[in-house]
Amino acid sequence: MLIALVPEADSAGRLRKISEDGSPAGPVVETADLPAAVSSMERLHKPRWVWASTPEVYPDLLAAGVRVERCHDLTLTEGLLLAHAGRHREPRELPAAIARVLGLPPPPDAGPRKRDAQPTLFEPVPASLPGGVDPLDAVGRVFGAQQANPLFDQLRLLVAADCASWLAACEMTFHGLPWREDVHLSLLEDLLGPRTPPGVRPRKLAALADRIVAAFGGRAVNPDAPGSIVQAFAWEGIDIPSARAWVLRSLDHPAVAPLLEYKELQRLWTAHGWSWLDAWVSDGRFRPEYVVGGVVSGRWASNGGAALQIPRILRTAIRADPGHLLVAADAAQLEPRVLAALSGDQRLAEACGDDDLYAAIASDSFQGERPKAKIAMLSAMYGGTSGEAGPLLAVLRRRFPSAVGYVESAAQAGEQGRMVRSRLGRTSPTPSDAWRELTGAADDAGDSAARSRQAARNWGRFTRNFVVQASAADWTAALLAVLRTHLPPDAHLVFFQHDEVLVHCPAPAAEAACDAITSAAREATRLLFGDTQVRFPMRAVPVESYADAK
């Protein structure tokens, strides 16, 4: 059963059953209590809800105690269809989608609303749509147009997986990541010293700043300003291209050690210090807003809070509630395994039988030297050729020609300005007009030709990795789609990052949660790659603190 839904202010809304072609299949139901109506229909029918945008609707349903199993997100689907047709830059929200159905110029997207400024439970779909179409009619008509799009069948599994991912993302925000404020505060004081007013360096950072100045003979240096650091080394007769950590580590100078320590602690202070704690953690929960497909490859992003960049040192603050456990799991070397399955490279598929794929490749091709195997594989997927990467990649190419050939073919497509696609149909953006103009100068001589070749190679590196990273995003989307409906009662997904999940559950349910994660990984593999020989191990472990997971 399909039910189109349009929220209205003050918890009200309108619903209507629709057919697969989006046409009405029942009368309009107007309700003053939309959450209650959705809850009743969910319980009785388990329909697929059709709405304009999951992050605009589902958080309010969750806040009212209503969870749904399936949805069709029109905005998400419109974006995937447009991208598949090479139209990444076109607007995709409901007003633009219905305008395309009507043959009218699509208006620009309004962008996400700020939920903290929301005065009522639901914020309605814009009442004024192109052509004066009623919002509920627009939902049905856009759904029908998407189903009728010749590209839709190619993207059906991707649409279902990403729509489920949006449900999971909203649920993760709602449940929140367990976060011990007292542990976080203790860590900050140990590492930085007592709390200081905003803009005032904590005691340990101030001491390190003084050591840096002393190391440069008392010259004034601002360790927060890269240009000041570069200039300070120039005074010492040392020319460096930047103040990045990897550049500093190559130097032999007394300022290097305090500079590196300062950089690490300063990042903690500004990104996850006291102000961050005040803004993002309340009632023992960290509740970031995730953005499904926020990166062009399909990877997630987050709106504030640096949810996907939690420092390892702070993982000790992520602790289960009393009587509960965290179940942590990550897919071992996901992207190389995805490449093995994509390329059909038999030898690499056999190496994937090992839980440590890099160790298996090292044993096969690099005399057991795991670091060399890792460098070679990363070079294949990311296009690295400098230093020892080139010779190691040459070895990998001889041993695993189908796998390396797969990404090199994607790189060649990118250099020629062509699109590439993931396993489920995510599509790389087309290069800009400026890129095409620049690369069109390849037959010229001198600097112009060099810039042209460099631009082509850069885009080729992007498409080389896109086919792997985007297919890995497909796999994790399928994983989340399966997992969120197969967890034991009172077990909740509370964190996801690229290839890693955290489930918070009552301690007696931990074993069942581990089994659910393992089976979801198997099902995701089957959905994407069928009866593949490639193993995608996902070891799940119950822990009290996220820091104990690895």
3-state secondary structure labels for all residues of 283-310: CCEECCEEECCCCCCCCCEEECCCHHHC
CA–CA–CA angle 253, 387, 374 (5° rounding): 105
Averages of pLDDT over each 10 residues, the chain, 550 residues = 95 96 97 97 96 97 97 98 95 97 94 55 74 96 98 97 98 97 97 94 96 95 96 95 94 96 95 95 95 94 89 95 97 96 96 94 94 94 85 94 97 95 96 88 69 90 96 98 96 95 98 97 97 95 93
pLDDT at 117: 43
pLDDT at 304: 83
Instruction: Say how many CA atoms lie within 13 Å of 326 toward its Cβ.
Output: 27
CATH of domain 2-150: 3.30.420
Q: Where are the domains of the chain?
A: 2-150, 181-277, 335-469
Q: How many angstroms separate the CA atoms of 406 and 394, rounded?
A: 15
User: Which amino acid is located at 226 in the chain?
Assistant: P
Enclosing H/E stretch for 163: helix 152-175
Query: Looking at domain 181-277, which of 1.20.1060, 3.40.50, 3.40.720, 1.10.3470 is its CATH number?
Result: 1.20.1060
CATH of domain 335-469: 1.10.150
Classify residue 219 as exposed, middle or buried by CB count within 10 Å of its CB (0-12, 13-18, 19+): middle
pLDDT at 385: 77
List 504's β-bridge partners, or say none: 326, 492
pLDDT at 394: 93
pLDDT at 389: 86
Enclosing H/E stretch for 328: strand 324-331
